Structure 1
Amino acid sequence: MNITILDNATLANTSLACIEQLGNLTTYELTSPEQVIEHCQGADVLITNKAVLNRDTISQLKQLKLICVSATGTNNVDLDAAKEFGIAVTNVAGYSTPSVVQHTFSLVTNLLGNTHRYQADCQQGAWQKSEMFCRLDYSFNDLQGKTFAIIGGGTLGKGVAKVAEAFGAKVIIAERKGVKCRDGRTPFEEVLKTADIISVHCPLTDETRDLIALQELKMMKPSSIIINTARGGIINEADLAKALEQNLIAGAGVDVLTKEPAELTNPLANYTGNNLLLTPHIAWASTESIVRLINEVSLNITAFNNGESRNRLV
């Protein structure tokens, strides 16, 4: 069996031993749209994170039997075409939950503690020139007692809620915008008005695109912060930059953008204020998460070879 990985760079040079033992493995660090057909030739199994497999490509791959998406989202694969041409498709879910939860709180606690600003002071020699033993130039706020709102009550949202409660925060789960509030949820607009921290963990859909724009940001408390480790586009990026610049909210931590890698013209990538922490889509990518991901892909391939259905989407 010939197995090809189209974007091995996304696996951060992690050992592929569990996949290598399943067949003849070929790896490409990255695959551009112009290289897809060439790189896919001769493969029985394709592994892709972000490399796009559209209808035109899939229709030309007569030997292909299985596409393994080394991620949860599958928008880079034409599932209808795969079904039409009899090609199975699998994904991996849940592998990155500990990593995303941890990165969420890295952003939260750094913003609340202004850690990045104090670190910059130390690097630039400000502490060394201080007249007293510490510097108290920027606020340092407890997470305990804060109202911590979660948008998206799935596995990630539940994981974040558990940690927030351990810090002593009051956790509330936002109801979907514009729908009747269910038991255990808090109306969307009430969440915006009352939360000290809002953390986004919902998928990007037509319903959630620009879910939080300038109108919603203006409802938030000036002392509040917002975190997005979910998907770019859920928070309107230009509006968030404006809200930060005008101090409508106290801060934001963002790990995802509408277009990645960040475009030179992206308003958040260009923002220079110290109330934004921007990281390059790394929340999912702890070493342990990538190991779990590779192991899950290997188990998906093994299950397919054994005629079993495991994480099958098609």
Structure 2
Amino acid sequence: MPRPSVPACQVVFLDAGTLPCGLPFDQYLDAPLLSQLAYQAHERTAPAEVAARVAQAEVVVTNKVRLGAELLAQAPRLKRICIAAAGMDNVDLQAARSLGITVHNVPDYGSDSVAEHVLATLLALCRHLATYSAAATDGRWSASPHFCWHGPRILPVGGSTLGIVGRGRIGQATARLAQGLGMRVLFAQRPGREAAEDERPLDDLLAQCDAISLHVPLTPDTRGLIDTRRLALMKPDAVLINTGRGALVDPHALVAALRAQRLAGAAIDVLEVEPPPPDHPLLAPGTPNLLLTPHVAWASEQAQQRLAARLAEQVAQHLRERATQVQAQQPGAA
């Protein structure tokens, strides 16, 4: 029996520039269903453009574009939101639920990529790779009376203790890699639960560990989690790594701790506002042993392709469900 005619499904990706590899719809849709897909990919969408771009959409794909209750109410055809990320804090979930809009995220596309970034930046900080690389070419090595050039103290990684705040997929992936380097791994005690053998209350964890890595979501309870008081609890030769959410760390307090040498280093991949304004405190020159990267811990080639595939699969699922519903409404359907 021929497939019943189905009107085109309007799908819009509001910030497709965040995922350069594109969505492989042809891997998940047969030709008849693929012909029903009307897909628009926008490099970026400014706040003033969102309402117009979602007004006729059945499916919206977004990475970081915010979809609040007022915007959702202006999209009467919207049935599904696909978030191109693990976090869901950019969508008003309660409003979506009340409007019958399903919201889907992609929770585990980049755990290994983020974990690898954590270990890479940890090694870079502890071994002062930026400083030593510069010394090799700026004349300091050539001027050395010895075969090598000695600069900042190189801290050991193997045998040191890594404290992980957040015991989800990424935290556990980070733990596995760290243990492979010979590190001892401890976790922050989860609120409301009895501490496991390898868990410590957060303040105790900060005081005991040589490195701290943050992997918790941003909530009212975790906003500003690492502030002046908690930075003061850390060892002066410890390092802090944040690949979670920017607002977990007070940037002013972090800069002060690094400049006062109360902390040996920090690797920060996320900021509370992205892209950051030029006057953001972590962009100011002169902060020692700060390794700042532009939110790329997740972005290995494999992780990008896995994320794109999951998004394409979610859109394909909507088209299949939609076609089934239309078919069931045809005259003579059982």
- Structure 2 residues not aligned, in runs of 5+: 1-8, 323-334
Letter in 2 for 1:188: L
Contact 1:117-1:274 within 8 A present in 2 as well:
no
Aligned to 2:14: 6
Q: Structure 2 length normalisation: TM-score?
A: 0.86
CA distance in 1, matches of 2:124, 2:63: 30
Identical amino acids, percent of aligned pairs: 35
CA distance in 2, matches of 1:184, 1:129: 48
Instruction: Report whether the alignment pairs 1:258 with 2:272.
Output: yes
Instruction: Report whether the alignment pairs 1:121 with 2:135.
Output: yes
CA distance in 2, matches of 1:114, 1:150: 22
How far did residue 114 of structure 1 move?
0.4
Aligned to 2:151: 137
Q: Deviations over 1:36-59 (max 9, x none)?
A: 122224322111111122222222
Contact 1:147-1:169 within 8 A present in 2 as well:
yes
Q: Deviations over 1:230-268 (max 9, x none)?
A: 111212111111111111111111111121111223222
CA distance in 1, matches of 2:321, 2:192: 44
Aligned 1:85-100 pairs, distance under 5 A: 85-100=99-114
Moved more, 170-179 or 143-152: 170-179
Instruction: Report whether the alignment pairs 1:188 with 2:195.
Output: no
Instruction: Report whether the alignment pairs 1:66 with 2:74.
Output: no
Q: Deviations over 1:49-83 (max 9, x none)?
A: 11122222222222222111111112222222222
Aligned to 1:17: 24
Contact 2:187-2:200 within 8 A present in 1 as well:
yes
CA distance in 2, matches of 1:165, 1:4: 42
Q: Deviations over 1:77-125 (max 9, x none)?
A: 2222222222222111110111101111111000011001111223423
How far did residue 178 of structure 1 move?
9.3
Out of 42, 59, 62, the residue aligned to residue 56 of structure 2 is: 42
Q: Deviations over 1:138-184 (max 9, x none)?
A: 22222111011111111111111111111111111121479863443
Letter in 2 for 1:194: Q
Out of 262, 283, 299, the residue aligned to residue 248 of structure 1 is: 262
Aligned to 2:224: 210
CA distance in 2, matches of 1:98, 1:7: 24
Moved more, 170-179 or 203-212: 170-179
Out of 229, 235, 242, the residue aligned to residue 249 of structure 2 is: 235
What secondary structure does 1:173 align onto?
strand
Letter in 1 for 2:125: L
CA distance in 1, matches of 2:274, 2:292: 13
**How large is the Cα RMSD of the aligned pairs?**
2.0
What secondary structure does 1:62 align onto?
coil
Letter in 1 for 2:19: L
Letter in 2 for 1:48: T
Contact 2:87-2:217 within 8 A present in 1 as well:
no
Aligned to 1:165: 179
What secondary structure does 1:233 align onto?
helix
Instruction: Report whether the alignment pairs 1:288 with 2:308.
Output: no
How far did residue 300 of structure 1 move?
1.5
Aligned to 1:80: 94
CA distance in 2, matches of 1:217, 1:50: 29
Aligned to 1:312: none
CA distance in 2, matches of 1:160, 1:259: 25
